[in-house]
Chain A
Amino acid sequence: MRILVIEDDAVMAAHMAALLAGRDHVATTVADGAEGLARAAAEPWDLIVGDRMLPGLEGLDVVERLRALEVTTPVLIVSALGLPGDRVHGLERGADDYLAKPFADDEFLARVHALLRRSRPEPHPEVLLVGDVEIRVKARTVHRADRHVPLSPKEFELLRCLAEHAGHFVPRSLLLERVWNLRFDPQTNVVDVHVSRLRGKIDDGFATSVIRTSRGEGYMLVTEAS
């Protein structure tokens, strides 16, 4: 995928480009807001990642101008202004997602992944197949190796979010946002308890676990059935 990164901090720009390259994306970095707008409007991109406080043109102005030009490329704003109000403001002005700096790498990649997935022609297939786990989205049922796994509504949402990012680590913050619509970090690891319950149900009677814990930051639904 071709991704345009508009970021004036060279270290962060290089870091984001390296992260994206690690997922086989082609990242182009631009340091100036006005130049970013010109490139974003002139070429087809799969995703635009933009800072807010930029020389030339403010990041949210870039998004607004792009939307006025009917450019619908998904935009992820990455900003040091990270209050809920800032986020709402960013989304209102046309951004598709908003990530506060400093971010964890997994979180950045998970959000990029989610935006790219959303912009694909079939964003929500009726059935998600990950290894031997089968998730029927409309019926809201889960089977592992053809055995029905009864889940609570929240556990289902958790598994679905993990399945949409299967093979990649999903940070807790993204799970909190997608499942509980919360955009802050509760002090206690409440997500861990919900995931461990989900894990208890989906791994019950199986030798291997399909959910892997990443070092301190999140969870991954493994793709290889074993």
Chain B
Amino acid sequence: MEPRTGLAAFARSSTVRLVSAIAAVFLLAFVGVGVAVRSTASTYIERRILDTLETDAAGLEAVWREGGTAALVRAIERRRGETGADGLARMRLAVGPDGEKLAGDFAAWPNDLDGASDRIRFETTDGGAYAGVVRRIAGGPDLLVAHAVAEHAAVMRALDRDLLMPMIVALMAALAVTALVGRRLLARIERVNLVARRVEAGDLAARVDAAGADEFGRLATHVDAMLERIAILMRGVHHLSDHIAHEMRTPLARLRARLEAARRIAEATPAAAPLLPALDEAVAESSELISVFSALLDIARTEAAAGDARGLAVVDLAEVAAMVVDLYEAAAEDRGIRLALATVSAPVVGERMLLMRMAANLVDNAVKFSPDGAVVDVGVEATATQCRLVVRDRGPGVPEGFEARAFERFTRAETVGATPGHGLGLALVGAIALRHGMKIALERADPGLRVVATGARATT
């Protein structure tokens, strides 16, 4: 998969989503608590205000009882403009039994309060909204003490501001924590991903090397331990194949040497002439044996060398393809097959000889399985990040499901019929692809087969 970076990758990350979700839940809870607190506070404040208004009204009644209407009027005039302990301006009104105004801040008794008592809300003709208490004194004046609702609303707005500030702070904190924790966790996971990608590309020496005793630290430690184990196994295979190489090649070399020596003696001895055909066959068989053995060893050692950067250089696939086409052109032409070469410069990091061998094996197969007179396409394509070698024939193709087994040793498709081969060609192609961190795909081309080897473009 292509590594993703930037904000989009950050947003797609599960870690960031998880942290964001937790932050969102906390924030919602905070808002819920805020709303509840506000509602309770509003009711409470309103009741407290009305309580003080009632006290005020009771005070005015006491004044009237002691000093009569004149004292009440003086008291109302004196208290005009005063604010209570809650800081709200009080509005008062006293009217006589006939409804005439005795004193107060309102022009007249509000019409809609006729008959009302206790706690009320009303609007005056000039549009002001008020809340207050009504006290009707039996045999005396009616009293009204109120405050403007707008003032209560202002108190609530102040409360809202007080509640909103910590909410904003909490939101900022949640965002900051999401970003910080997300980034930090993401970086640690991305480190493991990066190593996995490098290993996939063939660098078996890559390690996460992350400290920490938490689950991410343990993940990194486990990945490293796993890679170490793979490296040990690979070294074992390498070592073993080296030993097999030496232990088996020596007797094979002797076998061949002795057969060739026997043949030379037979050639020089007229009496031994009848042995010559048998000796020729024996030499040919030993050559065959050696070539199969060498191919197997080459596959094993090439696989074992995967991830080893030694001996790698920048190689242009276009040159490789051109060289291989040059080599095979004459042989193809003898069967009327045309090799159509189409290349662009495609630099990859690799072992030139192995890449040549890979291309040669693919072209060899394509020519071998093409009907006489057909065209074999040999193409090299490149994008900014990738290079591709594409070989397409117009032969019988491969049977369904063969793609999965194609790169195993000694695998041959049923469609090849009597065409000679050991079934090691594609296995070696697979090993060379592995050594170069290349992906190889067999695609049905109808008619024929398209083999695509894709590798990373070398940065120059």
Known interface pairs A15-B261, A105-B260, A188-B367. Does A215 touch B250 (Cβ–Cβ under 8 Å)? no
Bound Cα distance A15, B351 (Å): 34
**Are the C-beta atoms of A102 and B290 separated by less than 8 Å?**
yes
**Are the C-beta atoms of A101 and B353 separated by less than 8 Å?**
no
The total of Cβ contacts below 8 Å across the A-B interface reads: 111
Bound Cα distance A53, B290 (Å): 20
**Are the C-beta atoms of B257 and A15 separated by less than 8 Å?**
yes
Nearest-CB residue, chain B, relative to A190 = B331
**Are the C-beta atoms of B311 and A88 separated by less than 8 Å?**
yes
Q: Which of B283, B330, B356 has a CB less than 8 Å from the CB of A193? A: B330
The reply on B291 being an interface residue by CB < 8 A is yes
Binds B, one of A41-49, A79-87, A119-127, A131-139: A79-87
CB distance from B111 to the nearest CB of A (A): 107
Q: Which of A83, A89, A104, A190 has a CB less than 8 Å from the CB of B328? A: A190
Nearest-CB residue, chain B, relative to A16 = B257
Bound Cα distance A14, B334 (Å): 43
Bound Cα distance A185, B293 (Å): 13
Interface centre among A103, A184, A189 (most CB of B within 10 A): A184
8 Å CB interface, A33-86 against B = 53, 80-85
The reply on B65 being an interface residue by CB < 8 A is no
Known interface pairs A80-B245, A80-B250, A194-B330. Does A216 touch B284 (Cβ–Cβ under 8 Å)? yes
**Are the C-beta atoms of A83 and B331 separated by less than 8 Å?**
no
Give the chain B neighbours of A11 by CB distance below 8 A: 254, 257-258
Give the chain A neighbours of B311 by CB distance below 8 A: 84-85, 88-89
Using CB atoms and an 8 Å cutoff, list the residues of chain A in contact with chain B: 9, 11-12, 15, 18, 22, 53, 80-85, 88-89, 100-105, 154, 180-190, 193-194, 197, 215-217
**Are the C-beta atoms of B250 and A188 separated by less than 8 Å?**
no
8 Å CB interface, B253-270 against A = 253-258, 260-261, 264
**Are the C-beta atoms of A18 and B250 separated by less than 8 Å?**
no
**Are the C-beta atoms of B242 and A81 separated by less than 8 Å?**
yes
**Are the C-beta atoms of A193 and B294 separated by less than 8 Å?**
no
Give the chain A neighbours of B327 by CB distance below 8 A: 180, 182, 186, 190
Give the top 3 A-B pairs by smallest Cβ distance, nearest first: A102-B253, A84-B353, A80-B249
Give the chain A neighbours of B253 by CB distance below 8 A: 9, 12, 80, 101-103
Q: Which of A84, A85, A105, A193 has a CB less than 8 Å from the CB of B331? A: A193
**Are the C-beta atoms of A193 and B334 separated by less than 8 Å?**
yes
CB distance from A16 to the nearest CB of B (A): 8
**Are the C-beta atoms of A84 and B351 separated by less than 8 Å?**
yes
Bound Cα distance A187, B297 (Å): 16
**Are the C-beta atoms of A83 and B246 separated by less than 8 Å?**
no
Bound Cα distance A216, B352 (Å): 28
Classify the interface of chain A: helix, strand, loop or mixed: loop
The reply on B388 being an interface residue by CB < 8 A is no
Give the chain A neighbours of B360 by CB distance below 8 A: 182, 184, 186
Nearest-CB residue, chain B, relative to A179 = B327
Give the chain A neighbours of B368 by CB distance below 8 A: 187-188
Known interface pairs A84-B353, A101-B250. Does A187 touch B425 (Cβ–Cβ under 8 Å)? yes
**Are the C-beta atoms of B287 and A182 separated by less than 8 Å?**
no
Q: A100-B294, A102-B253 are in contact. List 4 more A-B contacts (CB 8 A).
A: A15-B254, A18-B261, A184-B356, A190-B327
**Are the C-beta atoms of A53 and B246 separated by less than 8 Å?**
yes
Q: Which of A9, A22, A189 has a CB less than 8 Å from the CB of B250? A: A9
**Are the C-beta atoms of A12 and B254 separated by less than 8 Å?**
yes
**Are the C-beta atoms of A184 and B364 separated by less than 8 Å?**
no
**Are the C-beta atoms of B330 and A197 separated by less than 8 Å?**
yes
The reply on B421 being an interface residue by CB < 8 A is yes
Sample of 14 A–B contacts (CB below 8 Å): A80-B246, A80-B253, A82-B245, A101-B252, A102-B253, A102-B255, A180-B323, A182-B356, A183-B353, A184-B298, A184-B356, A184-B357, A190-B327, A217-B287
CB distance from A194 to the nearest CB of B (A): 5
Bound Cα distance A154, B326 (Å): 9
